Amino acid sequence: MTAKVYVTLKSGVLDPQGSAIQHSVELMGTQGVSDIRQGKYFEISFEPGMTKSEASATVERIAKDVLANPVIEDYRVELATDS
């Protein structure tokens, strides 16, 4: 069982890192890009014995308490039973 967690800045929050990347992309001559925003991505692997509901509760807790700052960030969780 693995989970993927995507953490993105909320839409109203300034993203200077994304703006810097966009600026670099423009300086390198690429046209047509209107916005770049950077987020974080985590792959979490669980021990084999874990059920889907346990894994779901665990990854939600990890995402909320450790990976994302809920004041300025949103997160999205995907569970996959690829074991």
Contacting residues toward a copy of itself, per CB under 8 A: 6-8, 18, 21, 24-25, 28, 30-47, 49-50, 54-55, 58, 61-62, 65-67
Q: From CA 31, how far away is CA 28, in angstroms rounded? A: 9
Closest CA to 6 of 41, 33, 37: 41
Nearest distance, CB of residue 29 and a copy of itself, angstroms: 10
Nearest distance, CB of residue 57 and a copy of itself, angstroms: 10
Beta-bridged to residue 74, according to DSSP, are: 8
Consecutive H or E run containing 2: strand 2-9
Residue 65 or 82 with smaller CB distance to a copy of itself: 65
Single-letter residue type at 18: G
Residue 37 or 79 with smaller CB distance to a copy of itself: 37
Nearest distance, CB of residue 77 and a copy of itself, angstroms: 13
> Do 44 and 5 touch, CB atoms closer than 8 A?
yes
